[in-house]
């Protein structure tokens, strides 16, 4: 017959790392179980302490987290509304500073691409180590919702659903950051974590300066967790497509239509390019080439147009494929009429987020922490076509081996639906679950390491 005391000790050893103690000398899990379940010491310790955490996080959300989410959602933070973004950043930075994190603001000063301030919030150990070996928690406070939109405030749609601009993407994740930090501080664990939060002001519409600032602020870290909105099937994203944006300009020669042969029709030149890009997309079916905007011509139809312009974006799974598509795109600038001139320019590039053995190890650790918290994660069945700050973070070199980049996993935020629409909604129970998974990961893996 199994000895219940021996079983209890085995459970305690498995879930309570006595070599990792808080300043009080008592482990996190032991503290929780002592406080919450001192009258039932013979129970299943693993289930008990996770139940205690879940209950405490639920209480914290309904007493404080809901108010924080309402304040964040009701503050418009459309990316180009820089004043509004900065106010949203102030709301969350104030709450994190109250918990003892050191908050720093980084203005983005490019007059051609104005954006709000990026902020970081660092634990005492992170500051002590000058950021070396940190785990990055990545968030953004900006949204796609314009200040003039009638979709302005948070409302309780039903007992488990909150609707509002940016609630799902991704202000609920900012609330998770606050609640997780608060719980870790309460049990004297925060000071022992190498933790650095980066809260972007321009994820939805990034600038070159904002992307470079994210890279700079993440340097020295060993891993990054990105809290983009969760997927309903609890998948974790480990790979994302990369992105390039192009503009092509065709210069023809104007003429009256009665002398059509004297002119060079710029619209026809651009139309030929659109067919070449369509053929390129069909030749590489795993890529995406979206021709999004075309303009040109004149106000009168009796003149041969001497100007036309095409804008498009390209997405692919690897840097090599993006480079190959770019090479073929640049070769497509041959005009049909030698008198015409076609110029193709690359306007923007964001690298793919690619997986590595270190990425898979991080994924496994977070998945195991999720299981402790009662959340069953799995890997996304295919590479995500959309982009996030995970793309940027995945290009940051490891400080101790700059031939490699930091591992990144993504889509760790709460589940919901309707991102970027006026039905954007997030599930309350998922906010609590995803916060619990974060707490479990930080306590079980970051402290242990």
Q: Do 181 and 292 have their domain in common?
A: no
CATH number, position 186: 3.40.630.10
CA 253 to chain centre: 46
What residue ranges of the chain have pLDDT lower than 50? 1-45
The full length of the chain comes to: 449
Q: Do 234 and 358 have their domain in common?
A: yes
User: Roughly how many angstroms between the first and final C-alpha of the chain, as a whole number?
Assistant: 36
For helices 172-186 and 66-74, what crossing angle results, to 10°? 140
Cis peptide before 170 (omega within 30 of 0): yes
Measure Cα distances from 13 to 7, 65, 169, 373 in Å.
10, 33, 39, 18
Alpha-carbon distance of 13 to 251, in angstroms, equals 74
Alpha-carbon distance of 106 to 99, in angstroms, equals 20
Alpha-carbon distance of 394 to 240, in angstroms, equals 10
Q: Which two tokens stand for residue 404?
A: 């490699």
CB-count burial class (<10 Å; 0-12, 13-18, 19+) for 376: exposed
Domain count, the chain: 2
Q: Do 115 and 262 have their domain in common?
A: no
Q: Do 369 and 224 have their domain in common?
A: yes
CB-CB contact of 251 with 340 (8 Å):
yes
Give the pLDDT confidence score for residue 4 in this predicted structure: 31
Q: Is residue 12 part of a domain?
A: no
Q: Is residue 282 part of a domain?
A: yes
Domain boundary among the residues 350, 372, 405 is at 350
Q: Do 254 and 328 have their domain in common?
A: yes
Give the pLDDT confidence score for residue 118 in this predicted structure: 98
Q: Do 171 and 278 have their domain in common?
A: no
Domain boundary among the residues 290, 325, 350 is at 350
CB-count burial class (<10 Å; 0-12, 13-18, 19+) for 295: exposed
CB-CB contact of 293 with 311 (8 Å):
yes
Alpha-carbon distance of 167 to 89, in angstroms, equals 15
Give the pLDDT confidence score for residue 408 in this predicted structure: 98
Give the pLDDT confidence score for residue 25 in this predicted structure: 32
Domain boundary among the residues 350, 368, 387 is at 350
CATH number, position 281: 3.30.70.360
Q: Do 179 and 264 have their domain in common?
A: no
Q: Is residue 1 part of a domain?
A: no
Structural domain that includes position 337 = 242-350
Q: Do 303 and 394 have their domain in common?
A: no
């Amino acid at each position: 017959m199994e000895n219940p005391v021996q079983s209890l000790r085995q459970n305690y050893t498995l879930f309570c790392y006595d070599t990792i103690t808080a300043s009080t000398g008592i482990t996190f899990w032991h503290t929780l179980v002592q406080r919450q379940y001192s009258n039932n010491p013979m129970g299943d310790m693993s289930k008990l302490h996770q139940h205690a955490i879940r209950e405490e996080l639920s209480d914290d959300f309904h007493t404080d987290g809901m108010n924080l989410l309402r304040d964040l959602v009701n503050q418009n933070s459309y990316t180009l509304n820089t004043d509004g973004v900065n106010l949203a950043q102030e709301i969350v930075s104030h709450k994190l500073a109250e918990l003892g994190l050191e908050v720093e603001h980084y203005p983005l000063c490019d007059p051609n691409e104005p954006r709000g301030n990026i902020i970081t919030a660092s634990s005492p150990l992170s500051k002590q180590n000058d950021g070396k070996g940190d785990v990055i928690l990545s968030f953004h406070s900006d949204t796609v919702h314009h200040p003039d939109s009638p979709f302005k405030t948070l409302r309780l749609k039903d007992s488990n659903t909150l609707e509002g601009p940016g609630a799902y993407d991704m202000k609920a994740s900012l609330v998770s950051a606050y609640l997780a930090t608060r719980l870790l501080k309460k049990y004297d664990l925060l000071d022992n974590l190498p933790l650095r939060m980066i809260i972007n002001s321009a994820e939805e519409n990034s600038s070159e300066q904002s992307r470079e600032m994210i890279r700079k602020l993440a340097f020295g870290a060993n891993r990054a967790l990105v809290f983009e909105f969760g997927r309903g099937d609890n998948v974790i994203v480990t790979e994302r497509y990369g992105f390039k944006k192009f503009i092509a300009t065709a210069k023809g020669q104007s003429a009256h239509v009665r002398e059509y042969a004297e002119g060079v029709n710029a619209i026809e030149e651009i139309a030929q390019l659109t067919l070449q890009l369509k053929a390129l997309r069909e030749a590489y079916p795993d890529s995406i080439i979206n021709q999004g905007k075309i303009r040109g011509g004149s106000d009168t139809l009796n003149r041969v147009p001497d100007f036309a312009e095409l804008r498009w974006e390209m997405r692919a799974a690897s840097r090599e494929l993006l480079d190959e598509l770019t090479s073929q795109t640049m070769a497509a600038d041959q005009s049909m009429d030698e008198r015409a001139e076609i110029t193709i320019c690359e306007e923007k590039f964001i690298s793919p987020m690619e997986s590595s053995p270190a990425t898979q190890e991080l994924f496994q650790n977070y998945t195991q922490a999720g299981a402790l918290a009662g959340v069953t994660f799995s890997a996304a069945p295919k590479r995500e076509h959309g982009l996030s700050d995970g793309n940027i973070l995945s290009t940051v070199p490891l400080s101790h081996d700059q031939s490699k980049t930091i591992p990144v996993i993504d889509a760790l935020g709460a589940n919901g639906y309707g991102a970027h629409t006026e039905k954007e909604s997030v599930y309350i129970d998922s906010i609590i679950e995803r916060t619990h998974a974060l707490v479990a990961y930080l306590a079980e893996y970051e402290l242990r390491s």
